[in-house]
Chain A
Amino acid sequence: MSSEVKIVAILAVSLLALEIGTRLAEPRLSKDLAHIRTFSELSNRFSSTVKKDPRAKKTVLILGNSLARQGIDEQILVSGLTDSKGHSPTIGFITPDGTSVTEWVWAYRRYVMHPGASPDLVILVTGRHHLMDDSREQLDIPRLAAFYLDARDRSEFLSRYSIDTEQSIELLLASQSRLLADRTRLRPLLFYRMIPGYEVGVNQINAALGGGVPGESTGIEASPMTEKTETLRLLIESIKASGAHPVVVTVPLPDPYSLSAGVAELLGERGIDTVPLGEAMLLPEERFPDGYHLDRKGAAMVTRELLREIGAN
């Protein structure tokens, strides 16, 4: 066997070993990946709750990203939704980092939209731009393919975004390879620990680039590339088709904001309950320790306000 054939063979075996290693190490690579791995148990949790006591138990799904994860206090929500007979709700979270409606809709369809397993209430927690469509160039195809998109939805996804050949190949490969989907997780893991001032440096670069960068989520909100709301429409239709009741909550940010006209129009048109805390609730700066996400106190205040608005109990 010639030396170059040996080299290519060893490289191929190394790639395979990296793939296996990534699958084994995935839960330890980041908290976010460990969280994503819990999605597949959600429909089981909801369906077993319904089976146990179909009349009394409430199932609630919190759908969003890190703004939702850090903006909703689970304990307060549970106690607020516990009914007068002491039945506490089953609450599930789909709140992966750096995601928007593009990931939420496919995740909902893949993990939750199953007969008898859908939640009663879906609380869609969003920031300023997260409900607007991403442009084709903004899509994080490897992660979408690996974690959010179900094989059944692939053709619909391809046609919705006019995906080009390169992205189609990437989609196909990433649906089989965790290495492709997880590979960018190592970079922040390494650099945040090893380079002093890396976080500030990254923020400056991202600001110059005009928004956030996948895998380098440091609290800068990405600007929307489109004004379209077709993905949100699909999400609402999917939630309603599964028999769940959707509620949209805008989470407070350091500066007050309102949803874009297109999003507000769609929500109004589809009769979706909206809780505009991003506009109505002004919180002091100290509630945002990283300048973007809420602290525990802020989350408690937001959750109580949310419960009041949706008329819990």
Chain B
Amino acid sequence: MLFNSFSFWLFFAVVAAVHCLLPHRGRNLLLLAASYFFYACWDWRFLSLILTTTVVDFFASRSIARAAPDDPIRKRWLMISLTVNLGILGTFKYFGFFANELDRLLQALGGEPLSLPLHLILPVGISFYTFQALSYTIDVFRGQTQAAKRFSDFALYIAFFPQLVAGPIERSSHLLPQVVNPRPSCDEKRFRDGFFLVVSGLFLKVVIADNMAWLVAYPFSPHAVSQMSAPDVLLGVYAFALQIYGDFAGYSAIAIGVSKWLGFDLMTNFRRPYFALDPRDFWRRWHISLSTWLRDYLYIFALGGNRAGRWRTARNLFLTMLLGGLWHGAAWTFVIWGALHGLWLVIHRFWSLRRESSPGGKHHGGWILKLGAWLVTIHLVCLGWLFFRAQSFEQAWQMLSLFGAPWKWSDYAATCASLILFFAGPWMLFEAWQESNKDRLVLTDVSWPWRLGLYLYVLLMVVFFPSPVAVEFIYFQF
């Protein structure tokens, strides 16, 4: 059941209608049942994994909360929770990859092939709800959140359908109180904000992401390299950058929008990331719920953050991004993507420290410097996307090597450039306006004919310019 499908909106209309008629407890039970139904529509068998995670983390956190602060049993329950959560994630997501790599290594050393089942189906959204569950147990352990008293409330926190399969990865301190306490009803302001988010999310997904996905197919097809030139690669990567942004930010916007209608406030997940001026800025705008999760639970909690000197800090930063890359999928291309961002963040950190300690270093420069910083940032982000999207390191390298060959403008490049401008150009201008106001909901505060104008444009584009091919949400596979 995709957010851009008729079945989802039929499902949501039924849920929202019944939701209005029920008291708070009934609403929670309805949303829990609806969430399990929503997930079962993907694959009902994997409901058992969500239930296992929910049961283990509910009882583990209650045991942690009940124990005295210095009781070693707290640590034991935390370890049980971490083992079960990471065990499930590791088995379904990474076992095949590492077994395959081990198999290759053993065979290269002259050993026998491993007789292990190498390919398991990846349960949709497993990385998202596992991280959400992990953050809860760790927060209870650290005393930063209270253990849930009611099982059904906690189960809803884990499985809340708008953000179950692709985030935002919510924190218990933010979402759980909204589950436990009565929520505001859908007043005009909530409806208006939710409507804007849903409409903009649909545009990002249906018009930008799906049309870009169609364009991206050519430069990233395995046999196209020999026929391409640098402009094909460059425009193909720009198209992919827009596809992955439209796809993921679109999903997040719809998730946040429908949640608003149900009385929930989910965290902002994207804040115009392609307007970033440096890598740190980029990660403060891109997949915010994951980047802050990695910062709080991996960089600071597990690795120690920046408390042990500049080289340790650099190592921690690099490792965090490397593992963040692996979170996206079990493939070397994701590891390289994570490593590139890690390296870039480390270099930027050293450079910033040096710049800030020099006289006049805190001055940020004029618009020319900013434009230069933006150009460098956007192209380094795109370099990362090249590795992220490529099917192998070899393919990415071959595509990169085309930049050293003579540049030739092709019919594909003309098509790609024209369609990027047609589909994404107006939206990027709109985002520039949002950026200048530093507010993604700025349109909800202007007079209604302006909003109507945007919605009519979105309606026309969604109706008349869907992608020629059906495309699923990219982040479901993570």
Contact = CB atoms under 8 A, between A and B. Distances in A.
B351 interface: no
Interface residues of B, number: 38
B464 A195 contact: no
A216 B466 CA distance: 12
Central interface residue in B1, B214, B410, by most chain A CB within 10 Å: B214
Contact of B6 (A10, A173, A199, A214): A173
A86 interface: no
A184 B416 CA distance: 19
Contacts of B470: 137
Contacts of B412: 197, 200-201, 204-205
Contacts of A137: 470
Given A166-B6, A195-B414, A205-B217, 15 more contacts: A3-B451, A7-B455, A11-B455, A11-B459, A183-B463, A187-B465, A194-B418, A195-B415, A197-B410, A201-B411, A201-B415, A204-B224, A205-B215, A208-B221, A214-B468
Contacts of B214: 205, 209, 213
Given A173-B6, A208-B217, A209-B217, A7 B414 contact: no
Contacts of A4: 188, 191-192, 195, 448
Nearest to B192: A4
Contacts of A191: 418-419
A197 B464 CA distance: 22
Given A2-B188, A14-B459, A186 B6 contact: no
Interface string A209-245: 1000111100000000000000000000000000000
B446 to A, nearest CB: 10
Nearest to B223: A208
Given A14-B459, A195-B414, A205-B412, A166 B448 contact: no
Contact of A196 (B414, B459, B463, B469): B414
Determine the main DSSP class of A at the interface with B.
helix
B393 interface: no
B108 interface: no
B476 interface: no
| Majority SS at the chain B contact face | helix
A166 B414 contact: no
Contacts of B411: 196-201, 204
B373 to A, nearest CB: 33
A173 B89 CA distance: 40
How many A residues are at the interface, by size bracket? 35 or more
B223 to A, nearest CB: 8
B448 A183 contact: no
Interface of A: 2-4, 6-8, 10-11, 14-15, 18, 137, 165-166, 169-170, 173, 179, 183-184, 186-187, 191, 194-202, 204-205, 207-209, 213-216
Given A166-B6, A166-B7, A184 B468 contact: yes
Nearest to B11: A165
Contact of B468 (A10, A15, A204, A213): A213
A142 to B, nearest CB: 10
Contacts of B419: 191, 195
Nearest to B227: A204
Interface in B410-465: 410-412, 414-416, 418-419, 448, 451-452, 455-456, 459-460, 463-465
Nearest to A211: B469
B5 interface: yes
Contact of B452 (A10, A170, A184, A194): A10
Contacts of B452: 6-7, 10-11
A14 B191 CA distance: 20
Given A18-B463, A183-B466, A197 B414 contact: yes
Interface string B73-100: 0000000000000000000000000000
A201 B463 contact: no
B218 interface: yes
Given A200-B411, A201-B412, A216 B192 contact: no
Contacts of B410: 197, 201
Contacts of A173: 6
A3 B469 contact: no
A183 B464 contact: yes
9 contacts: A169-B7, A184-B468, A186-B465, A197-B410, A201-B414, A204-B227, A208-B224, A209-B469, A214-B468
A8 to B, nearest CB: 8
A183 B466 CA distance: 9
B441 to A, nearest CB: 13
Contacts of A166: 1, 5-7
> What are the nearest 4 A-B pairs in CB distance?
A201-B415, A197-B411, A3-B448, A208-B221
A207 B221 CA distance: 9
A186 B462 CA distance: 12
A237 to B, nearest CB: 31
A169 B411 CA distance: 38
B7 A165 contact: yes
Contact of B456 (A14, A187, A195): A14
A200 B218 CA distance: 12
A194 B452 CA distance: 28
B17 interface: no
Interface string B254-265: 000000000000
A6 B451 CA distance: 11
A178 to B, nearest CB: 12
A81 B216 CA distance: 50
Contacts of A15: 459, 463
A236 B464 CA distance: 36
A98 to B, nearest CB: 11
A3 B193 CA distance: 12
A209 B215 CA distance: 10
Interface in B356-411: 410-411
A190 to B, nearest CB: 9
B121 interface: no
B132 to A, nearest CB: 27
Contact of A215 (B5, B195, B414, B468): B468
A103 B195 CA distance: 38
Nearest to B456: A14
A191 B417 CA distance: 12
A187 B463 CA distance: 11
Given A10-B452, A173-B6, A200-B412, A184 B466 contact: yes
Given A183-B464, A208-B224, A198 B192 contact: no
B2 to A, nearest CB: 8
A10 B456 CA distance: 9
Contact of B448 (A6, A187, A200, A202): A6
B247 to A, nearest CB: 18
A10 B452 CA distance: 8
A208 B218 contact: yes
Contacts of B465: 186-187
B214 to A, nearest CB: 6
B10 to A, nearest CB: 7
Nearest to A187: B465
Contacts of B469: 209, 213
A42 B466 CA distance: 33
Contacts of B221: 208
